[in-house]
């Protein structure tokens, strides 16, 4: 078999809202000072994997993280697509977990139990996120050359969802067994004869 194709699915660096435990969803928040430091460290580590392309959510926290990776990898261009965005959390966007539980205790309990439903009343479900990221993923993979490594700069929920889609893992099971991405942590996936597999999960510059 020719050289395997690889994907690096990278969550953005920290924002002030991350630090405060606020549901961001598709609100467009910038990286914090620590988030920029995390992005630079992740970029240096990922550059050793010799990526040839960087694609990103169009939200600024993901795009700025992607730009750091692209710069450290020889000045690559960043291609944006709104399908890599984070889950839309409806009326929960801008609220802390405590405020969500206070306002919608039943939905908060459903979330903790792993039930899939539209977040915040009119937002997206995990199934919705899986559907839109899968369409972007299929288009991307169709353009990848043998041996190519592509970085996808995205978000916590959307990142886990697209990884699960790629390896054929049920979304609810992925939520339970994989857990979440840390800020500027990534998953590495490699294509083999039987399909794609996860070679790293929640890797970080600090862990190398």
* Residues designated catalytic: 12, 86
**First and final C-alpha spacing in the chain:** 29
| Count of all residues that appear for the chain in the document | 208
Is 200:179 a contact under the CB 8 Å cutoff? no
At 50, give phi and psi (nearest 5°).
55, 60
**Sheet containing 149-154, strands listed edge to edge, beginning at the edge strand earlier in sequence:** 78-80, 53-56, 149-154, 6-11, 186-192, 195-203
- And the tokens for 150? 């592509």
Name the percent of the chain in helix, strand, coil, to the closest 5: 45, 20, 35
Coil, strand or helix at 15: strand
């Amino acid at each position: 078999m020719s050289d395997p194709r690889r994907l690096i699915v990278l969550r953005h660096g920290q924002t002030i809202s991350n630090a405060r435990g606020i549901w961001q969803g598709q609100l467009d928040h910038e990286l914090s000072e620590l988030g920029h430091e995390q992005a630079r460290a992740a970029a240096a580590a990922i550059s050793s994997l010799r990526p040839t392309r960087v694609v990103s959510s169009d939200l600024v926290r993901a795009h700025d993280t992607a730009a750091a990776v692209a710069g450290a990898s020889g000045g690559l261009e960043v291609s944006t697509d709104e399908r890599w965005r984070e889950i839309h959390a409806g009326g929960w966007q801008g609220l802390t977990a405590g405020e969500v539980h206070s306002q919608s205790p039943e939905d908060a309990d459903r979330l903790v139990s792993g039930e899939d439903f539209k977040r915040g009343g009119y937002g997206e479900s995990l199934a919705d996120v899986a559907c839109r990221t899968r369409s972007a993923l299929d288009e991307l993979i169709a353009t990848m050359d043998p041996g190519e490594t592509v970085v996808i700069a995205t978000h916590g929920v959307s990142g886990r969802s697209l990884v699960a889609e790629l390896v054929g893992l049920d979304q609810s099971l992925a939520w339970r067994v994989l857990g979440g991405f840390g800020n500027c942590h990534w998953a590495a996936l490699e294509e083999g004869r039987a399909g794609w597999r996860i070679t790293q999960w929640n890797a970080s510059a600090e862990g190398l």
